[in-house]
A = this chain, B = another copy of it.
Amino acid sequence: MEKVFASIITIGDELLIGQVVDTNSAWIAQELNKNGISLKHRVAVGDVRDDIWQALDEESRAASLVIITGGLGPTADDITKPLLCDYFGGRMVVDQPTLDHVQKIFARLNRPFTERNMKQAEVPDVCTVLKNERGTAPGMMFRKDGVVYVSLPGVPHEMKWIMENQFIPLIPQLFDTGFIEHRTLLTYGIGESFLADRVQELEEALPPHIKLAYLPNYGIVRLRLTGFGFDKNGLKKEIEERFQLFKEKVKEFLVADEDITMELLVAKLLQEKNETLCTAESCTGGNIARMITANAGSSAYYKGTVVSYDNEVKQNVLGVKEETLASVGAVSEETVIQMAESVRKIMNTDYAVAVSGIMGPGGGSAEKPVGLVWMAVAGKGRVVTREFRLSYNRARNIEMTSYHALNLLRIFINENR
């Protein structure tokens, strides 16, 4: 048995001119990984016949599964379907179940069914149709010279539906896959190179089928062990043993022994003791709330936020004192303390986080430059504050501030235990 490799080809000029960020590939990669298939390559090409044809040739040499996304719409810039028909030597035929499905969608939307839409139900006669319950363009599977090709629409929720419901269940019949195991440690407070020095011996002793990766982001460095094998339980055990050695080596800096986001780490801490949280955001404009509420079930521990983008709102809703705003200003230790304590009272929670800062590019001064941020965490009769001076662009300043605020809360909660 050998490792099964896949390639992803994404089709569309919008990817090449940068109008769209490709989130499909990361999702597909994760799903394939869970099913024992490793990704070899990801390629993006434009809506150009020769380039797509060449990519199909090249990727079929590198992989035994080629996943193609995009280019399946009803308009003239969508050239993938006829191309695939030629590539696999078929002819276009109407697929009756797809036609019924497309007509049903049009009837539901109360739209006339035109000849152009008829084309959406045509597929090459050499493919296996993968039904698309979420849209009009069906998925298609082809086989040639031992390689499996899957063509999927580029619209993320349609692509995901077909993968989850139509293609992934077929993987065990199509391939003899092995198993891929990941284990991840999160560390905080130590740089990537110092971490590397610390685990050097362990890293050098790893067998060839286990790899170590360093993934630094926002001051957190993730250490990830990835192993591959055909004996699932043996692999699990082997990775687990190595993992414990790494964990022991970095214990002073350990944040978590699983791959988890900062917002879920905080959520776990709160849920352990049935505690609740609220926030008062100025410069992050609701981003902290969004991060927390992106997780299902967050209403169990998160009550809400007041985004006081305007000073009037800081006074009227959050009760920040007029003289504080007049004397030390909105971006100050005193203001974030008042914001945190006040929102905690208003929303009646165990903890509150408040942030205020200048995210740029405008709004800075000599005394309070762009990038200056104050944050406070209040709760359990205590309040802590921290000042940051960030030097990125607006988007990253917002991201970093949100992340640091959640990390400050994480440390604060741990100190109370």
Report which A residues bind B (CB closer than 8 A).
13-23, 25-31, 33, 38-47, 51, 58, 73-77, 109, 111, 114, 116-117, 120, 155-157, 160, 182, 191-197, 203, 211-216, 224, 226, 259, 278, 281, 284-290, 292-294, 296-299, 302-310, 312-313, 316-317, 346-348, 359-363, 392-396, 398
B-side contacts of A293, CB under 8 Å: 284-287, 307, 309, 398
- Shortest CB–CB separation between residue A235 and chain B, in angstroms? 16
Which 10 A-B pairs rank lowest in CB-CB distance, beginning with the nearest? A285-B293, A286-B289, A286-B286, A18-B29, A18-B30, A42-B44, A303-B310, A16-B39, A18-B26, A74-B193
Q: A198 to B41, alpha carbons, bound, how many Å?
A: 39
- Shortest CB–CB separation between residue A117 and chain B, in angstroms? 6
B-side contacts of A117, CB under 8 Å: 193
B-side contacts of A114, CB under 8 Å: 193-194, 197
Is the Cβ of B215 less than 8 Å from the Cβ of A394? no
B-side contacts of A33, CB under 8 Å: 17-18
With contacts A41-B45, A286-B289 taken as known, whether A214 is within 8 angstroms of B77 at the C-beta atoms is yes
Is the Cβ of B51 less than 8 Å from the Cβ of A40? yes
Is the Cβ of A116 less than 8 Å from the Cβ of B15? no
With contacts A21-B26, A306-B304 taken as known, whether A13 is within 8 angstroms of B213 at the C-beta atoms is yes
Is the Cβ of A157 less than 8 Å from the Cβ of B396? yes
**Contact of A304 (CB < 8 Å), options: B16, B195, B290, B309:** B309
B-side contacts of A224, CB under 8 Å: 19
Is the Cβ of B26 less than 8 Å from the Cβ of A22? yes
B-side contacts of A194, CB under 8 Å: 111, 114
Is the Cβ of A313 less than 8 Å from the Cβ of B19? no
With contacts A215-B19, A304-B306, A304-B308 taken as known, whether A395 is within 8 angstroms of B316 at the C-beta atoms is no
26 contacts between A and B (CB under 8 A): A15-B42, A16-B38, A18-B39, A19-B259, A22-B25, A25-B44, A40-B46, A41-B51, A42-B44, A75-B192, A75-B195, A75-B214, A76-B203, A77-B211, A77-B214, A109-B191, A114-B194, A117-B193, A157-B396, A285-B294, A290-B290, A293-B398, A294-B394, A298-B309, A305-B305, A306-B317
B-side contacts of A45, CB under 8 Å: 40-41
Is the Cβ of B16 less than 8 Å from the Cβ of A196? no
Is the Cβ of A17 less than 8 Å from the Cβ of B182? yes
Q: A40 to B52, alpha carbons, bound, how many Å?
A: 11
Give A204's nearest chain B residue, CB to CB.
Answer: B76
- Shortest CB–CB separation between residue A74 and chain B, in angstroms? 4
Beyond the given A19-B26, A40-B46, A73-B192, please list 4 additional residue pairs across the A-B interface where CB-CB is below 8 A: A18-B39, A286-B286, A304-B309, A304-B310
Counting chain B CB atoms within 10 Å of each CB, the highest count among A39, A286, A395 belongs to: A286
Q: A383 to B365, alpha carbons, bound, how many Å?
A: 40
Q: A177 to B284, alpha carbons, bound, how many Å?
A: 40
**Contact of A360 (CB < 8 Å), options: B214, B290, B296:** B296
Is the Cβ of A394 less than 8 Å from the Cβ of B196? no
Counting chain B CB atoms within 10 Å of each CB, the highest count among A14, A33, A285 belongs to: A285
Is the Cβ of A191 less than 8 Å from the Cβ of B348? no
B-side contacts of A214, CB under 8 Å: 73, 75, 77
Is the Cβ of A17 less than 8 Å from the Cβ of B43? no
- Shortest CB–CB separation between residue A325 and chain B, in angstroms? 14
With contacts A45-B41, A157-B396 taken as known, whether A116 is within 8 angstroms of B197 at the C-beta atoms is yes
- Shortest CB–CB separation between residue A371 and chain B, in angstroms? 13
- Shortest CB–CB separation between residue A12 and chain B, in angstroms? 8
B-side contacts of A226, CB under 8 Å: 13, 17
